Amino acid sequence: MNILRNIIIFTILILSSTLITLSEESAIELVKKGNILYNEGKVEEALDCYKRALEIEPNYVYGWYSRGLTLLSCKRYEECLYCFEKVVELNPSHELSWFNRGFAL
């Protein structure tokens, strides 16, 4: 009985770590998809992809940056400012975010 229990626990641990890895990859894939949608002119769909990516990986700098650029292109300055500030908070040396943050002000 203990052996079966240990096998089940081990399997759950393996699956959990696999799901975490898939989630991280999913954030990257969602941002890539968002970039493609943006380039096709589907701005709201792109923003949705970035939002979903950031729900998975809240500290994903490229997700915040891509969302910020998209919002900037829509002249949604307050929202894009928040995104660029988040990038700078996570990576103070991200020069383009400093530049775009200033542009949004």
> 51-66, pLDDT tens digit by residue?
999 999 999 999 999 9
Distance CA 33, CA 48 (A): 10
From the list 21, 26, 78, the residue with the least C-alpha distance to 52 is 26
Query: Does residue 81 form part of some domain?
Result: yes
**Side-chain half-sphere exposure of 87, counting CA atoms within 13 A:** 24
pLDDT band, very low/low/confident/very high, at 103 (cuts 50, 70, 90): confident
**Per-residue pLDDT, 19:** 47
The Cα–Cα gap between 73 and 44 comes to 12
The pair of three-digit structure tokens given for residue 43, joined into one six-digit string: 């701005």
Please tell me the predicted confidence (pLDDT) of residue 98.
87
> Could you tell me the CATH number of the domain that includes residue 55?
1.25.40.10
For residue 1, being part of any structural domain is answered with no
Domain limits for position 82:
15-104
pTM of the model: 0.74
Question: What is the amino acid identity at position 89?
Answer: E
Structural domain count, the chain: 1
Question: What is the pLDDT, as a whole number, of residue 25?
Answer: 61
